[in-house]
Chains A and B, each alone.
Chain A
């Protein structure tokens, strides 16, 4: 009942004209970002974060959240029409979506992608609505040792779930923690690794680092590709799926929604992981798995449901615990903090307007996105046809402006360019940036709680194991580490025993 009352309260705030307008702006920009290859939701959030400084906290987060889940809708359009995912979570949609388009069924594929996304978004929001308050109550029991263990477990989980080498992911996590130490010691106020540069005394700016890693490096990598020229030119018709399509998609939508939601809750549970797992699950349970990849509606419905229910799940740890589970949530965390709002267990009581309006706005946002992606799909088709050569200078400029506008100094532009080059090299050498950026953001919090825990325990590390919640998180972290490090060794032994 408390949740429903909160929802109605949040709807009251969301229906204010300014909030409705910015919710629409967020959804529109998010869809545009999803449609355009090269700039994912993290980069878009980083670009638009400075724009929100003048807005009230609720309005700012409503808009930024709209960009996040809007991008999930938009990404499927390019996957289906040109076999290029607009963003990472739509990679799997290419497999069947494009094949459906080639068979003349682009309309039903696009329609199902939008409708499945809407259904998944709407259902998963109930999960957010009813699970976030109990999570927040649970988090009230947390003290410094619990936060240390939770963050450590989260960072290890992010690295564990990554797609590349786990050792490299752990290295990037460690590097992110180290980059977070640059600036001023949070407890003693001593300069650390700032080399007496005034601009570094507050540490490396989050926005220049993110714009560099996710914006500049992405554009540089895209410039290496030949310009795409293969959009399907037939008129898109029959946007609404048939009865048969509905019958085939019903259970994939349900399974994708549930899977995506719970993957979104766990650190490192990105939407690309959830969409891939949803696709794999459908293929496993299907009576005709050999048809996957040939253009069947289940291959679109399942991943699109998963990648749209994921954002709702991701909001639970952010709003209730103050812990971001991916880079996009990390930016939302930064935005909240810039507006003087501290997410965590006290958010519901201290800023109920922010908490409930974000949840309520996602219902409205999903409706707006359905309108933007179904009847207006023709608009996005025209956008896709614009050559990338016209887009990338503008995206570069937005990155430059975004970095400059933080403190009106070219130093931030320099940081952004350096991290852009670094991010580009990371792609070349197969290092992931998500563990780095999460560790960079959570590092100062982690260090502060860690040192505070040792003060509380008079220098004993036992404090992390004596408290049950902390011990549970640490136990999971140790298990994941053991699987990561020992797993390959055991496999190697098996090969030696059984050639």
Chain B
């Protein structure tokens, strides 16, 4: 936990200082008419101070740093990373491939390679979910979905 806290507090400290810098650049303005930079600079200062305080508290703890596992189980990352990759795939290809094709591939990949379901079930679910969601959102709710390669 201590290593994790050191990393996270340093991240928050840097983030806070960024906002302080950005706020100062925008201008704090006088107290009777605070400028756009006033609030970010003040709150950024608060975040930096709190982060620094936590960092000092964590650093002062005696004894060797505890070794803790980032993942709850040994092979948890096997499901998490592919899921994240599939989300980025969706983001990257939604506009070019279109909703139906991207969604079918997305659902199929998650069911087959993350959920470890069979080929038949994965393909069937992928088709049903993409068509069903298209019907519900595009036709039922009027949401504009990218057409891409398949036009319906």
Contact A224 B47 (CB under 8 A): no
Q: Given A220-B80, A220-B84, A413-B94, do A459 and B129 touch, yes or no (CB 8 Å)?
A: no
A387 to B110, CA, bound (A): 14
Cβ contact of B36, chosen from A167, A175, A188, A450, cutoff 8 A? A188
Contact B40 A410 (CB under 8 A): no
Q: How far is the CB of B95 from chain A (nearest CB, A)?
A: 6
* Residue B131 interfacial (CB < 8 Å): no
Q: Which residues of A contact B111 (CB under 8 A)?
A: 389-390, 393
Contact A168 B115 (CB under 8 A): no
Q: Which residues of A contact B107 (CB under 8 A)?
A: 393-394, 397
* Residue B4 interfacial (CB < 8 Å): yes
Of the A-B pairs whose beta carbons lie under 8 Å apart in the complex, a sample of 21, sorted by A's number, is: A165-B54, A170-B50, A174-B50, A175-B47, A193-B22, A223-B79, A223-B114, A224-B80, A387-B115, A392-B83, A392-B115, A393-B115, A397-B133, A400-B87, A401-B137, A404-B145, A405-B137, A413-B91, A417-B84, A429-B7, A457-B32
Contact A54 B141 (CB under 8 A): yes
Q: Select from chain A the residue with minimum beta-carbon distance to B117.
A: A389
A408 to B144, CA, bound (A): 7
Contact B32 A454 (CB under 8 A): yes
Contact B106 A393 (CB under 8 A): yes
Q: Mark A382-411, 1 if CB is under 8 A from B, else 0.
A: 000001011011101100110011001010
* Residue B142 interfacial (CB < 8 Å): yes
* Residue B127 interfacial (CB < 8 Å): no
Q: Select from chain B the residue with minimum beta-carbon distance to A168.
A: B54
Q: Which residues of A contact B70 (CB under 8 A)?
A: 428
* Residue A50 interfacial (CB < 8 Å): yes
Q: Select from chain A the residue with minimum beta-carbon distance to B40.
A: A181
Q: A192-B26, A431-B8 are in contact. List 10 more A-B contacts (CB 8 A).
A: A171-B47, A171-B50, A175-B12, A178-B40, A181-B39, A190-B26, A193-B40, A389-B116, A405-B141, A424-B80
Q: Given A219-B83, A401-B143, A451-B38, do A224 and B73 touch, yes or no (CB 8 Å)?
A: yes
Cβ contact of B129, chosen from A223, A397, A460, cutoff 8 A? A397
A187 to B72, CA, bound (A): 46
Main SS at interface, chain A: helix
Interfacial residues of chain A within 192-230, with CB under 8 A of chain B in the complex: 192-193, 216, 219-220, 223-226
Cβ contact of B133, chosen from A168, A170, A193, A401, cutoff 8 A? A401
A423 to B98, CA, bound (A): 28
Q: Which residues of B contact A431 (CB under 8 A)?
A: 8
* Residue B31 interfacial (CB < 8 Å): yes
Q: Select from chain A the residue with minimum beta-carbon distance to B53.
A: A167
A403 to B12, CA, bound (A): 26
Q: Which residues of A are in contact with B by a Cβ distance under 8 Å?
A: 50-51, 54, 165, 167-168, 170-171, 174-175, 177-178, 181, 185, 187-188, 190, 192-193, 216, 219-220, 223-226, 387, 389-390, 392-394, 396-397, 400-401, 404-405, 408, 410, 413-414, 417, 420-421, 424-425, 428-431, 447, 450-451, 454-455, 457-460
Contact B22 A451 (CB under 8 A): no
Q: How far is the CB of B49 from chain A (nearest CB, A)?
A: 9
Q: How far is the CB of B42 from chain A (nearest CB, A)?
A: 9
Q: Given A178-B19, A390-B111, A393-B107, do A185 and B36 touch, yes or no (CB 8 Å)?
A: yes
A481 to B88, CA, bound (A): 41
A389 to B5, CA, bound (A): 32
Contact B91 A417 (CB under 8 A): yes
Q: Which residues of A contact B86 (CB under 8 A)?
A: 396
Once A and B bind, how many residue pairs between them come within 8 Å at the CB atom? 160
A404 to B71, CA, bound (A): 30
Q: Mark B30-59, 1 if CB is under 8 A from A, else 0.
A: 111111111110011011001101100100
The 9 nearest A-B residue pairs measured at CB: A389-B115, A459-B31, A459-B32, A185-B36, A224-B76, A174-B47, A393-B110, A223-B79, A224-B72
Q: How far is the CB of B56 from chain A (nearest CB, A)?
A: 11
Contact B95 A454 (CB under 8 A): no
Q: Given A174-B47, A397-B106, do A455 and B129 touch, yes or no (CB 8 Å)?
A: no
Q: Which residues of B contact A178 (CB under 8 A)?
A: 15-16, 19, 40, 43-44, 47
Q: Select from chain A the residue with minimum beta-carbon distance to B125.
A: A390
Q: Select from chain A the residue with minimum beta-carbon distance to B144.
A: A408
- Chain B CB within 10 A, most for which of A50, A190, A193, A400: A400
Q: How far is the CB of A193 from chain B (nearest CB, A)?
A: 6
A68 to B39, CA, bound (A): 33
Contact A420 B8 (CB under 8 A): no
Contact B51 A455 (CB under 8 A): no
Cβ contact of A458, chosen from B26, B32, B88, B106, cutoff 8 A? B32
- Chain A CB within 10 A, most for which of B4, B5, B12, B143: B143
Q: Select from chain A the residue with minimum beta-carbon distance to B94.
A: A410
